[in-house]
C-alpha cells in the first residue's frame, strides 16, 4: 500500500514569530495582500505589513468580512487579483478564505493563525458556508500553504474560549463527541 503525506512547505512557531515574517515568507514577487478582519489586523497587521515591506513587497490589506462563503471568496479574490502572495491571518474562516483566494489566483500562501483551536492553518482545504452561515461544502485545493507562521505570544493571548476546538468547530469524531459530553476516553498505557 502506498501512503502519501502532504504538509505545508515550512512551519515556523515561536514567541514573536510574526515579527520575523520576512525571514520565512516567500518574497519572490512584488505584491502581497493580507486578508484579516479588523481585530486581527490590529493584533498582527502592522508586524506582517512592515516585515513584508522590508522584504521589498508592496503590501495591501483586504478586510475579511466572513464567514467563508462563495461570495466572500469572490469579493476578496477580486480585490486581491494581481498579488503574488496572499497572507491569511486570523481564525479558521479567515484562513479558509485566504486559501481559497490563493488557490483561485495561483499565488503563494502564508497562514498566520491567531487561535489554537483550528486545523485551517496547515490544511489544503477550505470549509465553505452558505450566505446564511450553514455548511455548504469542502473545497480541496491540492496544495498546502507555503508557510504556516504561528506566533505563540499571539495565540496564547487569545480569549480562553478559543482554546477548545469544541467552541469553534462542531465535534466531528467519536472522541470529540465523547469529550463534548464529558465522557472520558479509556486510559491507554504508553507504548
Least confident among 114-118, 141-145, 163-167? 163-167
CATH ID of 10-180, from 3.40.30.10, 3.40.50.1970, 3.20.20.80, 3.90.245.10: 3.40.50.1970
| pLDDT attached to residue 165 | 55
> Which one is predicted more confidently, 164 or 30?
30
Domain residue ranges in the chain? 10-180
For 69-124, what is each residue's pLDDT tens digit? 999 999 999 999 999 999 999 999 999 999 999 999 999 999 999 999 789 999 99
CA distance 114 to 40: 8
At residue 159 the predicted structure's pLDDT band, cuts being 50, 70 and 90, is confident
Q: How does pLDDT run across 117-126, given as a tens digit for each residue?
A: 789 999 999 9
Amino acid at each position: 500500500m502506498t501512503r502519501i503525506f502532504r504538509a505545508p512547505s515550512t512551519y515556523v512557531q515561536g514567541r514573536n514569530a510574526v515579527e520575523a515574517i520576512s525571514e520565512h515568507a516567500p518574497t519572490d514577487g512584488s505584491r502581497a495582500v493580507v486578508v484579516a478582519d479588523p481585530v486581527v489586523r490590529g493584533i498582527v497587521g502592522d508586524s506582517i505589513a512592515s516585515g513584508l515591506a522590508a522584504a521589498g513587497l508592496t503590501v495591501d490589506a483586504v478586510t475579511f468580512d466572513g464567514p467563508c462563503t462563495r461570495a466572500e471568496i469572490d469579493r476578496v479574490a477580486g480585490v486581491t487579483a494581481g498579488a503574488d502572495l496572499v497572507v491569511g491571518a486570523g481564525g479558521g474562516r479567515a484562513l479558509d478564505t485566504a486559501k481559497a483566494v490563493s488557490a483561485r489566483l495561483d499565488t503563494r500562501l502564508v497562514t498566520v493563525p491567531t487561535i489554537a483551536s483550528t486545523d485551517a492553518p496547515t490544511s489544503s482545504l477550505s470549509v465553505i458556508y452558505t450566505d446564511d452561515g450553514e455548511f455548504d461544502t469542502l473545497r480541496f485545493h491540492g496544495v498546502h500553504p507555503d508557510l504556516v507562521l504561528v506566533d505563540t505570544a499571539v495565540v496564547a493571548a487569545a480569549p480562553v474560549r478559543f482554546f477548545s476546538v469544541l467552541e469553534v468547530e462542531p465535534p466531528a469524531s467519536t472522541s470529540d463527541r465523547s469529550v463534548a459530553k464529558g465522557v472520558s476516553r479509556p486510559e491507554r498505557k504508553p507504548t
